[in-house]
């Protein structure tokens, strides 16, 4: 898992730097990327654990037990789409357009990040044999996502308006740095999930 975290952070960093250079990064881009990665992990882990169950009764019980993990992700995505995708950028058509392109998978940087992460995680899950793997209602990865949402709102509502920076590349750089530091800091201690 440690290698997966390192590869994940490296690919996000490199690809997103190219996106910053092109002015394609918004708070929505980063928070939605973190959410989408967690959704991929949850779906892959769910399928992995589902196939490990032997009887139909075990599979049915597992589906009921896993509902909470998917529900919390649903709540997060509604909040992310509403707050970061629309409300906080309502007056800026350029940012709304960028957010819409990310949501509709028309942002190549976002798409490459998701495809690479999905391939890396599926490969990792196929090669691992975690017998103690579970789908908890709230995990460390959910905490990273939760803090990212709070941090994103803080950056967009408090910090960016006060800085009054017009250059979109500087804004993008200011946006990405705290999120990457959060992912590195919390991801380093996340070795067994």
Q: Please name the residue that has the structure tokens 């990457």.
A: 180
pLDDT of residue 189 exceeding 60: no
What SS3 class is residue 155?
helix
The pLDDT tens digits of the residues spanning 80-138 come to: 999 888 988 888 888 899 999 999 999 999 999 999 999 999 998 888 776 667 776 77
Q: How far apart are CA 28 and CA 88, in angstroms?
A: 9
30, exposed or middle or buried, with CB in 10 Å at 0-12, 13-18, 19+? buried
Residues 25, 19 contacting (CB under 8 angstroms):
yes
pLDDT of residue 14 exceeding 90: no
What SS3 class is residue 165?
coil
The pLDDT tens digits of the residues spanning 47-65 come to: 888 887 778 888 888 888 8
User: What does pTM read for this prediction?
Assistant: 0.83
pLDDT reported for residue 168: 55
What are the boundaries of each domain within the chain?
2-188
Q: Which residues are CB-contacts of 157 (< 8 A; sequence separation ≥ 6)?
A: 88
């Amino acid at each position: 898992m440690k290698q997966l975290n390192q590869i994940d952070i490296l690919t996000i960093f490199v690809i997103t730097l190219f996106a910053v250079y092109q002015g394609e990064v918004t708070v929505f881009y980063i928070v939605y990327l973190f959410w989408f990665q967690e959704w991929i992990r949850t779906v892959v882990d769910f399928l992995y654990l589902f196939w490990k169950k032997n009887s139909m009764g075990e599979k049915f019980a597992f589906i009921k037990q896993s509902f909470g993990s998917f529900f919390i992700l649903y709540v997060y995505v509604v909040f992310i789409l509403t707050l970061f995708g629309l409300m906080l950028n309502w007056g800026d058509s350029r940012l709304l357009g960028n957010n819409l392109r990310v949501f509709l998978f028309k942002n190549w940087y976002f798409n490459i990040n998701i495809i690479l992460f999905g391939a890396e995680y599926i490969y990792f899950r196929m090669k691992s044999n975690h017998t103690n793997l579970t789908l908890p209602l709230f995990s460390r990865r959910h905490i990273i996502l939760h803090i990212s949402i709070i941090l994103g709102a803080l950056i967009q509502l408090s910090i960016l308006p006060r800085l009054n920076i017009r250059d979109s590349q500087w804004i993008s750089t200011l946006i990405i740095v705290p999120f990457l530091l959060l992912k590195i800091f919390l991801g380093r201690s996340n070795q067994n999930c």
